[in-house]
Amino acid sequence: MFAYKPLLLAGIALWIAGTIALRLWGRAILHPRSPAAVLALFAISFVLMFLLARRLCKWFRFERRLWLEGTFALVFPTLILDPFSCAFFSSVFPNIPLEAAGLFGGWMLFCCCGALSGAARGS
């Protein structure tokens, strides 16, 4: 059985919840014309994902040496599915201006980087 299944399922749940939240409130979150808002979004998201990955690895009782591999399972849904969200941005997020597609893609990479950094720090 896949050892990292709990983190993969958590990643799928987070992806679904995040996609729904962005469909509802994305216009209030993504501000591509405001450098200060982009920097704040990236910084806050990096820290939150750093902490979330560590918390989930602890909660699911993974040994520290397995945190990085487990966190890859956590971010896998985002890395696989959000390129499609970017490619079909106006259909997936009709309430967000198309000009925010690049910001969204960068934000998702930054979130994954934060999670992986949190796991690497724990190893």
Measured CA to CA, the distance from residue 5 to residue 113 in angstroms comes to 20
Confidence of residue 39 (pLDDT cuts 50, 70, 90): very high
Average pLDDT of the chain, as a whole number? 95
Measured CA to CA, the distance from residue 33 to residue 102 in angstroms comes to 12
Q: Average pLDDT in the 27-40 region? A: 95
The burial class, CB within 10 Å (0-12 / 13-18 / 19+), for 4 is buried
Q: Per-residue pLDDT tens for 101-117?
A: 999 999 999 999 999 99
Q: Are 45 and 107 in contact (CB under 8 A)?
A: yes
pTM value is 0.92
Phi, psi of 63 (to 5 degrees): -65, 145
Q: Average pLDDT in the 8-36 region? A: 96
Taking the alpha carbons at both ends of the chain, their separation in whole angstroms is 23
Q: Per-residue pLDDT tens for 49-89?
A: 999 999 999 999 999 999 999 999 999 999 999 999 999 99
Give me the residue spans of the domains in the chain: 5-122
Confidence of residue 123 (pLDDT cuts 50, 70, 90): low
pLDDT attached to residue 1 = 47
Write out the H or E segment, with its range, that includes residue 59: helix 35-59
